[in-house]
Structure 1
Amino acid sequence: MNNRSSHAPVPFTSQTKEAFLKHLIENPSSRRISRHETENLLEWLTNPSKRPTSQTEFSRRNYVRKTFTWDTHSQNLLAKPKSGEGGHRVVVFEDRIAATVEWVHESNGHAGWDNTWKSISMSYYGILRSDVIYLLKQCQICAHDPSKRPKRTRANLTDLSSAHEAQSTSEREVIEPDDINWGSWTCEDPAAGQSK
């Protein structure tokens, strides 16, 4: 058991994590790495004698060798940095996405989508921004903390627009055609390059 008290809210409930796993199945992405796929990745990275059996496998193996590396010291699968970017990023498997997002979100003090995404994208591979947003919308701690709620909700915007619509046209500023000084305007003929 963890060191949290039984009454303290946790960022993601077990129902949230189950719903997220369903979300992953319903919204697949080639950027996410499953445990099953990991076996092939590791074999292609660590076994130079392993040969692909098809053109598709050949292409995939080349992509894997260009994109990933196996760190024998830490026993982690790492994504190589793209040109001009930071260092290697730890590959997070689909079944560990929720736990990783939860840990990073708690570590940065429940700082929101952008800050959590920034931390995740710099250190981890295999987690999409949409995954972060999906999970953070369910964060129990942020939901109970008024300072974590959006400052302007859609309800506030709807109230403002309906209040504006309630004004009569006499209360609003209306520009009439006679209010515009048309004489000072010129039109330019693009073909001739002259003003009329």
Structure 2
Amino acid sequence: MKPLGDTLLVATHNAGKLEEFAALFAPLGIGVKGARAFDLPEPEETETTFLGNARIKARAAMEATGLPTLADDSGIEVDALGGAPGVYTADWAETPAGRDFMQAMERTHRELEARGAAEPRTARFRCTLVLLWPDGEEAVFEGAVEGRVTWPPRGLEGHGYDPIFVPDGHDITMGEMTFEQKNALSHRAAALAKLKAALDDA
């Protein structure tokens, strides 16, 4: 795999994700810039897999800027909901005023209650990273963290569904963890560890 250089475009408009990527790439001496820095629009995510949607985002940003680009698609899969919301994780948060993840968490809880889902309500966060170079070379890295969903939400840290997700081996939600605690075990950190190993071998 080719080296990345000292700057990488991360195809996200999500400030929370960008902050996580910046922290995880900092030890590698690689700075990151988000899609907002280039005023890039958000492409429509029309695929039904994390990999497919990550490719859409990576390709759109790379073609617009000519820069090596990293994109991720990630979400939460709740077993009692048949793996939902999965690739539609962000869609569950969509409102006319923007994304509201409290609404999404409430929907998750409501649907679990309607199904009479037994405890523990097992779930996992998944992340698929696509690294794309202007010459078309592509690398894919995947990570996951197993756990369970809980109610009510706990903690003000993190973003997305973090306040209702308790990772295996822990008794606090990701929303209650420090930035450093979460980055030590998150699905995104797991995928990035694989990316880092590939860079080290480059």
TM value normalised by structure 2: 0.28
Pair member with larger Rg? 1
- Identify, as 1 or 2, the structure richer in helix: 1
- Identify, as 1 or 2, the structure richer in strand: 2
- Per chain length, whose mean CA-contact separation is higher, i.e. which structure has more relative contact order (CA < 8 Å, sep 6+)? 1
TM value normalised by structure 1: 0.29
